[in-house]
Structure 1
Amino acid sequence: MIRKHIHGAAAISLIAWMGLGGLTSCTAGFEEANRPGNAASAEELGRDNYTVGSFLVQMQNAVFPEQENAYQMDEDLIGNYLGRYFTYVNHNFNSANFTTMNAPAGWVNWPFKNITPKFVSAFKEIERLGEGRKDINYAWALILRAQGYLRLTDKYGPFPIGLEKDADAYSSQEAIYNKLIADLDEASEILKNQMGDNDGLIVSAMYDKVYGGKVANWRRFAHSLKLRMAVRMRFADPEKAKKYGEEAVAAGVITQNDQNCTIAYVPLGLHKTSVEWGDSRACADIESYMTGFNDPRLNKYFKEPAERSPGSRAIIGCRAGAKIGNKSVAVPIYSAANVESNTRGIWLTAAEMAFCRAEGALANWSGMGGTVKELYEEGVRLSFRQWGAGDAGTYLNDSWSMQAYYNNAPGGFGKNAPRVSDITIRWNDDGTEEEKLERLIVQKWIALFPDGQEAWNEIRRTGYPKVFDVDQSTGSYNIKVPNRIPFSSTEITENPENLAKAKQLLGGADDYATMMWWQRARHSK
């Protein structure tokens, strides 16, 4: 894999990290076994799967990063802000950030330098300990690695995942997608063979913070990741996208909310960044759409501001890129996330899968399980049920409500703005293909909350939802959201030859404007 990330010192540091508290979110029995003074022998560790389980937990913590620092650096500052769910209200972020497309090098480097080595090294250890066995642990690790690499390639573009002879060489995003889908297929087949006729098989529950050891749910998640990827590459490679999408749905994706991919990690990353630290508040974009739609999920997503002015709306967002004069002024007048420290982190849902199948049907893929209208409405209903927002019938029949004009909080930061979209909610089979796509993606974007990176992916991939301009200058950039983040600056000295090749694979400048492989076919015309 990535040689400089997985040498012996990295593996040793990972083991040391775990011994020093990296597994504090696991069950009480696991913590007791890990307690100093109660050390287990190597034979005992192998006997109860403790060693492999430790690395599986490490992979989960890395690819579903909820630990406060990892969450802020890998998710909040990037996807949550660029997907227009949240924006910063910390005045220390004003001059350099991803929204204004001039983030500090440390921010840009973080996913590559911090997240990558954790799950890559853990995967290698699982391979080593398994001694070549392709069992449930190996399949589980393959799925987790695919989740990790997918989010990284969708941030940077080309990425080193070990496909080349030189372990530090970058692969194209197209090659990465095809490799990850092959890995997901392999994992699915292993799990199918291991499960046999036992769909209720539970394995290593104490190490599974997502599904509690339910093997069938991990298999559904693998198929769901495959469908997510197939839809993402729909415009870049329509033939393969159709093949992969039809295969994924036929194999069985997540269709019910009790199958949603969510992780137990206390404290939740979003609670830290938005509620406890107060660095992040609702973004004006999602607030204006949901306010205009009279969407009952809005109060499930965000809290009323502490200092709400009389007569003002219940939830108030802040413009992306607003120049915050003082955090202490901004925090009480804009809405925080409506989460608790023990709320589960949400990473993939049945609602998203319904919208993916709806788009597949729109693209004339077979076997999606319904018409575009039926699947669109199913996505909305699943999301309403997921959030306890009541019946979606009235909402789905609304053919007049549109995005609201944005009015800033009194005494707040950033400018008011007229709406940028006139799309409505009710499905219209007689609309143009572009109108259908916008309507579908706007509702998918709302339902994807709080997974900001997926929201950012949809904005980049389709151009929807239409969003407000950044409230500050973005220098020479004339785009509203970045198409990517630059490669890690450390590669200039640590891996210069491969970095040069990576830029060739990128097909453009190593900046915020160069498009992802899966964007170009739709947006380069």
Structure 2
Amino acid sequence: MKLNKITKAAICISLLSAFGCTDNFEEINTNDQGITPELLEQDFNHIKQGFGPIFNNIQVITANFEWVYQLQQNLNSDIWSGYMATPTGFAGGINNTTYSLVDGWNGFIWEYAYKNVMYNAVHIEDLSKGKFDQFYALSLILKVEGMHRLTDTFGPIIYSKYGELSPTEYDSQEEVYNQFFNELDIAVADLTQRVDDGDTGESTFKSTDLSGYKGKYKQWVKFANTLRLRLAMRIVKANPALAKIEAEKAVAHKFGVMQSNGDLFKIVSPVFTNPLATISGSWLDIRMGADMESIMGGYEDPRLEGYFDTSSQYPGEYKGVRTGIDIAAKADHQNFSGIGAPGKSNEIVLMTAAEAYFLRAEGALRGWDMGGDAKSLYEQGITVSFGQRDASGVVGYIADNVKTAKAYVDPKFPVNNSPAVNNVTVAWDEAATNEVKLQKIITQKWIAGFPEGQEAWSDYRRTGYPKLFPVLKNYSGGTISTELGVRRINFVQSEKDGNQGGVDSGIAKLGGSDNGGTRLWWDVDAPNF
């Protein structure tokens, strides 16, 4: 990671803030290329131009800004999910990976969400609501997709009062989730009606749509329904009645949720690749996580060879790095397995059809009407995931009731070794407890969701699955449990400097201290059933 770029970014942000309040705003912003407002408004370009920054910053995937993604997601949720680990001892090994949360890193999660996702979504709303509501509907779906990641990281956030003068009050996470559901209602109703009226959306939105849906409203509704299902399951412990209502609403909708790999939600571009290609392939700052080696290696999962490269130091072997260890030198582990095909693609997958099946399987396990039973939906989820990865052998994999996760062995430092901790087989067992069935569902959902660490980290916090290796070094000063891991990120320094009253309102609604050990609203300390 090029740490000097953080300073440059801070300077740029300061300059943007300064020019944002200038008296000669119109002079500075005069377009000297001859593009008049009238020309810009042709084909709704004045509205459409706001979508690109949203697509490209849900995860920061702009070329040459891989370091921002590294700070926005990679050195937090990608690692805390168990997917990945770093061989690099940043800040002397006292950093996010060892539970000493770095404000200078984590501020980028907040800043890029507001500067790019929230700002542009609200700007599109201002231009389109009540006039060109198809764009308003699409922007709402993208806003919920982008901002649920933020509230699932921090808890209370600025949402309903965004744009108000400082101090800007935070909404509680419960209030934010209620607004998410309402916004999805608006978006789904509008786009469904348009499809019913014969408007597919392709002529209007295809040129702007970076999702791979080619502007098709029906596909966007399926995504919105699946997003509703994801958020409904997230709150199952905090508000089980509302969770059931919202989940069943998503599945019962006439277009339903994602069912095939053609439905998955991704960001597609001919000009960028996943930032993991640089972070893992060039910088060697990220490697396969020990948990992936343990679980997928123990199952002899055919998808493993597509997910990771074999180790250049141990030919033919997949070797992971354990998170939260003492790192004396980067060279000790940098030649373990790097990220494979999913990290080298120009398609950034943020939601899969497999996830939809696993969500429905969990819902069915809870007695909800999910259009199928838990066993069949679980097995469909695995099957669809194998199809997405072009992996063979799914029938035998699903039927395997013998293989479990394997012990982790660090060939260089035995102190990092551990027996396996996530000991469940793949095969469905109707006689098993609901807890074991849930562990199977979430474990397979975790495997299928790679490399999207944000969602996997949220599932781990909500359910405790899959069981992950604990860190060996915990520098949180007692605020974060070694057993439970990081539950959230504390509010960022820029907010404390410029919106202390807002931060105070957020802490009051958080229900605990502003540190990484405090649980979010939906992260209830209670049994799964």
TM superposition score normalised by structure 2: 0.88
Corresponding position of 1:223: 225
One-letter amino acid of the counterpart of residue 492, structure 1: K
Q: How does 1:129-140 map to 2 (within 5 A)?
A: 129-130=127-128, 132-140=130-138
The answer as to 2:515 corresponding to 1:511 is: yes
Local SS of the residue matching 1:263: strand
Counterpart mapping for 1:183-198 below 5 A:
183-198=183-198
Moved more, 501-510 or 478-487: 478-487
The question of 1:65 aligning with 2:60 is answered yes
User: CA contact under 8 A between 1:99 and 1:482: conserved in structure 2?
Assistant: no
What secondary structure does 2:117 align onto? helix
Shift of 1:425: 0.8
* Distance in 2 (alpha carbons) for counterparts of 1:47 and 1:164: 29
Supply the AA of the counterpart residue of 1:379. Answer: G
Judging changes above 3 Å, is the alpha-carbon distance between structure 1 residues 441 and 190 closer, same or farther for their aligned structure 2 residues? Answer: same
Q: Distance in 1 between matches of 2:95 and 2:527?
A: 25
> Which residues in structure 2 correspond to 1:371-410 (within 5 Å)?
371-408=373-410, 410=411
- Whether the 8 Å CA contact 1:305–1:336 is kept in 2: the answer is no
Give the conservation status (yes or no) of the 8 Å contact 2:280–2:338: no
Look up the match of 1:322. 325
Partner of 2:5: none
Once residues 516 and 347 of structure 1 are traced to their aligned partners in structure 2, the CA distance between those partners, rounded to angstroms, is 22
Displaced runs of 4 or more, over 4 A: 6-12, 36-39, 163-167
Deviations, residues 22-53 of structure 1 (Å, cap 9, x unaligned): xxxxxxxxxxxxxx997533212111222222
Query: Are the aligned partners of 1:264 and 1:342 in contact in 2 as well (CA < 8 Å)?
Result: no
Alpha-carbon distance between aligned partners in 2 of 1:53 and 1:460, rounded to the nearest angstrom = 36
1:306 paired residue number: 312
Greater Cα offset, 320-329 or 374-383: 320-329
Give yes or no for contact 1:330–1:413 (8 Å, CA) kept in 2: no
Moved more, 501-510 or 38-47: 38-47
Report the Cα distance in structure 2 between the residues aligned to 1:52 and 1:393, rounded to whole angstroms: 48
User: Is the contact made by 1:66 and 1:269 (CA closer than 8 Å) also made in structure 2?
Assistant: yes
After superposition, give the CA deviation of every residue in 1:193-237 in whole Å (9 maximum; x if it has no partner). Answer: 222253744132221111221221111111111000001111111
Q: For 1:47, give the aligned amino acid.
A: Q
Confirm or deny that 1:286 pairs with 2:285: no
* Cα distance, 1:94 vs structure 2: 4.7
Query: In the alignment, is residue 490 of structure 1 matched against residue 488 of structure 2?
Result: no
Whether contact under 8 Å (1:270, 1:337) holds in the other structure is no
* CA displacement at 1:103 relative to structure 2: 2.3
Q: Distance in 1 between matches of 2:162 and 2:119?
A: 18
2:299, 2:438 → 1: CA distance? 18
Tell me how far 1:129 sits from its aligned partner: 2.5
Local SS of the residue matching 2:349: strand
Map of 1:273 onto structure 2: 279
Q: Deviations over 1:419-442 (max 9, x none)?
A: 113211100111111111111111
Q: What CA deviation, in whole Å up to 9, does each residue of 1:347-390 have, x standing for no partner?
A: 00100000000011011111x12110000000100100000111
Go from structure 1 to structure 2 and tell me whether the alpha carbon gap of 1:44 and 1:97 turns closer, same or farther (over 3 Å shift). same
In the other structure, the counterpart of 1:361 is 364
Amino acid at match of 1:422: N
Distance in 2 of aligned mates of 1:412 and 1:261? 40
The Cα of 1:86 is off from its aligned counterpart by 0.5
Change in Cα spacing, 1:188 to 1:95, as seen in structure 2 (3 Å) is: same
Structure-1 separation of matches of 2:407 and 2:334: 22
> Does the aligned pair in 1 maintain the 2:261–2:352 contact within 8 Å?
yes
1:524 Cα deviation from its structure 2 partner: 11
Partner of 1:213: 215
Cα deviation digits, residues 493-517 of structure 1 (max 9, x gap): 3122221221111111111111111
Q: Is the 1:172–1:506 Cα contact (8 Å) retained in structure 2? A: yes
Q: Alpha carbons of 1:207 and 1:400: their partners in 2 closer, same or farther (altered >3 Å)?
A: same
Question: What corresponds to 1:46 in structure 2?
Answer: 41
Amino acid at match of 2:169: A
What is the distance in 2 between the residues matched to 1:212 and 1:482? 38
* Residue 232 of structure 1: aligned partner: 234
Does the 8 Å contact 1:358/1:376 carry over to 2?
yes
Does the Cα contact within 8 Å between 1:119 and 1:145 map onto a contact in 2?
A: yes
Mapped partners of 1:407, 1:41: distance in 2? 64
User: Structure 1 residue 338: deviation in Å?
Assistant: 3.3
Q: Which amino acid aligns with 1:316?
A: K
| Kept in 1: contact 2:98–2:325 (CA 8 A) | no
CA gap of 1:271–1:57, structure 2 versus 1, over 3 A, is same
- Map of 1:24 onto structure 2: none
Secondary structure of the corresponding residue to residue 257 of structure 1:
coil
Deviation at 1:55, TM superposition (A): 0.5
More deviation, 485-494/191-200: 191-200
Verify the 8 A CA contact 2:276 2:339 in the aligned structure 1.
no
Matches within 5 A, 1:237-256: 237-251=239-253, 252-256=256-260
TM-score (norm: length of structure 1): 0.89
Q: 1:519 to 1:11 in 2, by over 3 A?
A: farther
Give the whole-Å Cα distance in 2 for the aligned partners of 1:297 and 1:432: 28
Give distance in 1, aligned partners of 2:20 and 2:384: 42
Match of 2:104 in 1: 106
Displacement of 1:164: 8.5
Aligned pair partner of 1:296 in 302, 305, 311: 302
- The C-alpha deviation readout for 1:385-422, integer Å capped at 9, x for no partner, is 000111411001100111100011x3368611111132
* Cα distance between partner residues in 1 of 2:509 and 2:252: 33
Report the alpha carbon displacement of residue 106 of structure 1 after superposing the two structures with TM.
1.2
Give the letter for the 2:239 counterpart. Answer: D
User: What residue in structure 2 maps to residue 432 of structure 1?
Assistant: 433
Code of the aligned partner of 1:432: T
Alpha-carbon distance between aligned partners in 1 of 2:67 and 2:207, rounded to the nearest angstrom: 25
Asked if structure 1 preserves the Cα contact closer than 8 Å seen for 2:354 and 2:382, the reply is yes
The Cα of 1:341 is off from its aligned counterpart by 4.2
| Aligned residues between the structures | 496
Q: Is the 8 A contact 2:343 2:451 kept in 1?
A: no
Give the Cα–Cα distance (whole angstroms) in 2 for the partners of residues 420 and 333 of structure 1. Answer: 21
Q: Which amino acid aligns with 2:474?
A: S
Cα deviation, residue 329, structure 1: 3.9
- What is the match of residue 88 of structure 1? 86
Mapped contact 2:288–2:336 kept (Cα < 8 A): no
Contact kept, 8 Å, 2:303 with 2:386, in 1: the verdict is yes
**8 Å contact 1:88–1:321 — kept in the other structure?**
no
Q: Which letter does structure 2 place at the counterpart of 1:402?
A: T
TM-superposed deviation, 1:91: 2.4
Correspondence for 1:22: none
Contact 1:323-1:414 within 8 A present in 2 as well: no
Q: 1:204–1:213: 8 Å Cα contact kept in structure 2?
A: yes
1:334 and 2:337 correspond: yes
Q: Report the alpha carbon displacement of residue 10 of structure 1 after superposing the two structures with TM.
A: 5.4
Aligned counterparts of 1:352 and 1:340: Cα–Cα separation in 2: 19
Residue 458 of structure 1 pairs with residue 453 of structure 2: no
Shift of 1:519: 1.4
Over 3 Å counting, the alpha-carbon distance change for 1:521 and 1:415 in structure 2 is closer
Shift of 1:339: 4.1
Change (3 A) 1:497 1:396: same
